[in-house]
Amino acid sequence: MAEISRFFGIVIQMFYDDHAPPDFHVRSGRDHAVIGVNALVVLKGSLPLRALGLVMEWATRHREELGEHWTLARDKAPLRAIAPLE
């Protein structure tokens, strides 16, 4: 697992051994969700509405990078940080 971004108490991670479809994991306090990269939908778990809105705004801005990171993770290559939401 690699942390790829952090903002407003939200942690974004991507797992190296994750299965399809492409996704990323989000932690906000005690809440956790898995978000699909292609459709930007919650695949599993839940987040408070405010956190979910921030994550979706961030993911929309960085969708192409998330797709690239998914490929890197599948190839076990190092992941770079993605700019946080400001």
Structural domain includes residue 27: yes
pLDDT tens per residue, range 46-64: 999 999 999 999 999 999 9
Q: How many domains does the chain have?
A: 1
Provide the pLDDT for residue 70: 94
pLDDT tens per residue, range 7-41: 999 999 999 888 889 999 999 999 999 999 999 99
Structural domain includes residue 82: no
Structural domain includes residue 80: no
Q: Is the separation of the CB atoms in 58 and 40 below 8 Å? A: no
Structural domain includes residue 84: no
Provide the pLDDT for residue 17: 84
Provide the pLDDT for residue 20: 86
**Edge-to-edge order in the sheet of strand 10-14:** 2-7, 10-14, 23-28, 31-36, 42-46
SS3 86: coil
Structural domain includes residue 10: yes
Structural domain includes residue 63: yes
Q: Is the separation of the CB atoms in 38 and 22 below 8 Å? A: yes
Domain of 68, in residue numbers: 2-74
3 pLDDT more than 80: yes
Structural domain includes residue 6: yes
Structural domain includes residue 43: yes
1 pLDDT more than 80: no
